[in-house]
Structure 1
Amino acid sequence: MKQPCVYILASRPYGTLYIGVTSDLIARLYQHRTNAVRGFTARYAVHHLVRFEMCETMEQAILREKQLKRWHRQWKINLIEADNPQWVDLAVGLGSPPIEPQLRRDGC
């Protein structure tokens, strides 16, 4: 699935959100889900893909990412729930294995 896209990950329904952009969603999901890159998503166990939008160009994807990051949290939740009201992990439908709930690295 090599195409520019913007995506939203969540730690759990209504949990911590992360918005990112990539040209290879499958590879990027693998990195997040295996904590291959240390950072925010690894620290807070933000691994569930709850929304993604494919874009024509990387420039469009970056602009959309910046737009979404400026949104209020409730607007982001409304966007997720418009197409994914059950907060299903969409990565499973893209071929990723389901992941078990985990505690954050800080123990919470």
Structure 2
Amino acid sequence: MKLSYVYILKCSDNSYYTGVTSNLNQRIFQHISGAHTDSYTYKRRPISLVFFAEFTDINLAIETEKQIKKWSRAKKEALINNEFEKLPNLAKKRF
């Protein structure tokens, strides 16, 4: 069974980068080493892996990555900190 991963990196400027990959170790190494000079993380190194989740369905992994990319910083931090009970309230729109 082939696994896919959704991951969140914390960059040196304190921003977060969310990605999806089928080889987590290789992809993190690419971010750390600056293998892709046009990537978001290249000028924001050093980076650190702060969250990842495994998926057996690549389509679900891609869907999850897209969803997380739309989240607020606070919601991403709740996920990173395993504060799952905060996620529903952070998802509500404030008027």
TM range (shorter): 0.7 to 0.9
**1:14-33 to 2 correspondences below 5 Å:** 15-33=14-32
What is the Cα-based RMSD across aligned positions, in Å? 1.8
Q: Equivalent residue for 1:70?
A: 70
Query: Does the 8 Å CA contact 1:18/1:46 hold for their aligned counterparts?
Result: no
Identity %: 37
Unaligned runs of 5+ in 1: 84-108
Q: Equivalent residue for 1:37?
A: 36
Unaligned runs of 5+ in 2: 84-95
Aligned length: 81
Larger radius of gyration: 2
**1:1-108 to 2 correspondences below 5 Å:** 3-11=3-11, 15-38=14-37, 39-45=39-45, 47-82=47-82
Higher helix share: 2
Query: Partner of 2:9: helix, strand, or coil?
Result: strand
Return the TM-score normalized by structure 2: 0.78
Query: Partner of 1:15: helix, strand, or coil?
Result: coil
Query: Partner of 1:36: helix, strand, or coil?
Result: coil
Which of structure 1's runs of 4+ aligned residues deviate more than 3 A?
A: none
Deviations 1:20-63 (A, max 9, x none): 00000011011001001112101111520000000011101100
